Structure 1
């Protein structure tokens, strides 16, 4: 990956841009899934490490825009309300990112994909899992560890976070903002961690920067859809994408 842009054929670059626009659109519409779509799509035409590096800068920028859409004050309030979960996710991302070149990811994808799929399907079918207020701190610790650990290894920590926010009945606007805060802070930590791990270099960073424009374009289009969704439709759309994400993680775990 010493000169990745020079080595990428034009058709691969165009496919990468298209995948990133789609990822940005889904991100803008429901507030998550950009890393899952990008890593899955880009890894089909690029190496896994190049795909992981490519999503880092778009993830940082789109989450900053998402978190700050209602202003800095609201974003800071959301960060404070979910400070325990946020802190655990960041620590675990930093730690597990150093294992990205050493640990096989098949088992990890299955471990996160199966629960996410089961959760989303049961919710769609009408079984409403809810986490009681007195159990939320314990849930934040457990789910935060899972999200951070998988995030450092794969760049994906959205499904556990969305499952948690859905289970505690977070309102649409608040959920979108909280996701932006958590994912944005996590993306910055992921960037720093992968500078240290060697995945994010000057070469892969330039490729990641090239993906910023299609990511932001897709996100702007997706936000127009988000503004038209009421709470019920937003939750249903979120659960459908979550189910697809779970299936994709299981596919990756099985296929290797």
Structure 2
């Protein structure tokens, strides 16, 4: 029990409340639009702690919520066959990026996190709707996976360019939700190994991350309830505007 709460005893009550509220909000966003938990968590926590510390906190709740997401839909086997090259390169890119860059490798890490959030928000707001021909997936999928892995290792954010690529494949809604869960699960596990290699994911960090599962799941349930009562399009637009502001702040101020 001491291992579970030691991290929060060290950071104090105010920051502990911020962490809990962050995961409730991040889970809520994921419940409404199917993604955003690690992105929101990294962005908000990056305002108050080093990115490596923030990334360690999201490992367990992100993994469990993504496993929940990919377990439903009935398309897992087909998606695994189709996306295997991209998923393999996400893992390899994250491992390579952890050695080459590392999320805890310097004061530029917060600025890199801000840039990643800003780029993703910009794409979400004004990015074109792309379509990738099936024949091009053979080389474009692994390339997007490699870049996504390196970005994941450097920032803890694993949406670019994986999300635009998956959106360009013409998947059905259920397939898309399951594909996102699959991609995010691989990215989270690869990030966990990268953090462990940098000595940023010990027993205390895992215990602190485990305690954030309940707030994240509570937020997801609230988000799923909210999804039936608001326009997902309007919510998503507000999400990306807020993300752009957050990313801009981190990019400028670090």
Shorter-normalised TM range: 0.7 to 0.9
What's the offset of the Cα at 1:57?
Answer: 0.9
CA distance in 1, matches of 2:201, 2:55: 9
CA distance in 2, matches of 1:201, 1:92: 22
Aligned to 2:57: 54
Contact 2:39 2:117 in 1 (8 A): no
What's the offset of the Cα at 1:50?
Answer: 1.9
CA distance in 2, matches of 1:118, 1:83: 28
SS in structure 2 opposite 1:82?
helix
CA distance in 2, matches of 1:4, 1:146: 32
SS in structure 1 opposite 2:146?
helix
Contact 1:105 1:253 in 2 (8 A): no
Contact 1:155 1:190 in 2 (8 A): yes
Gaps of 5+ in 2: none
Contact 1:116 1:163 in 2 (8 A): no
SS in structure 2 opposite 1:131?
coil
Aligned to 1:195: 196
Matched, 1:122 2:120: no
- What TM-score do you get using the length of structure 1 for normalisation? 0.83
Aligned to 1:255: 253
Aligned to 2:133: 132
Deviation larger for 177-186 or 153-162: 153-162
- What TM-score do you get using the length of structure 2 for normalisation? 0.83
Deviation larger for 112-121 or 81-90: 112-121
CA distance in 2, matches of 1:236, 1:137: 35
Gaps of 5+ in 1: none
Describe the shift of the 1:100–1:47 C-alpha distance in structure 2 as closer, same or farther (beyond 3 A).
closer
SS in structure 1 opposite 2:105?
coil
Contact 2:46 2:110 in 1 (8 A): no
RMSD over aligned Cα, in angstroms?
2.7
Matched, 1:33 2:31: no
CA distance in 1, matches of 2:117, 2:51: 18
